[in-house]
Amino acid sequence: MVSHEAARVAATLGWTNVWVMTDGIKGWEKAALPVETAAVPIAPGGPQ
């Protein structure tokens, strides 16, 4: 899976707190774990 490879690369680059969410965000939410949301600004010229 791509997420596993990304985690491996991050760890190779020195990151020490690397996790793979094997069930994705839906599994995280189903487990009632905390989720943060943030407004994402739209780039100039992007959708209105």
Tens digits of residue pLDDT in 7-43: 999 999 999 999 898 898 899 999 999 998 888 777 7
Q: Quick one: the chain helix, strand, coil %, rounded to 5? A: 40, 0, 60
Chain CA centroid to CA 6, Å = 11
Per-residue DSSP letters for 1-48? -HHHHHHHHHHHTT-SS----TTHHHHHHHTT--------PPPTTS--
- The pLDDT score that the predictor gives to residue 21 is 86
Q: For the full predicted model, state whether its pTM sits above 0.85.
A: no
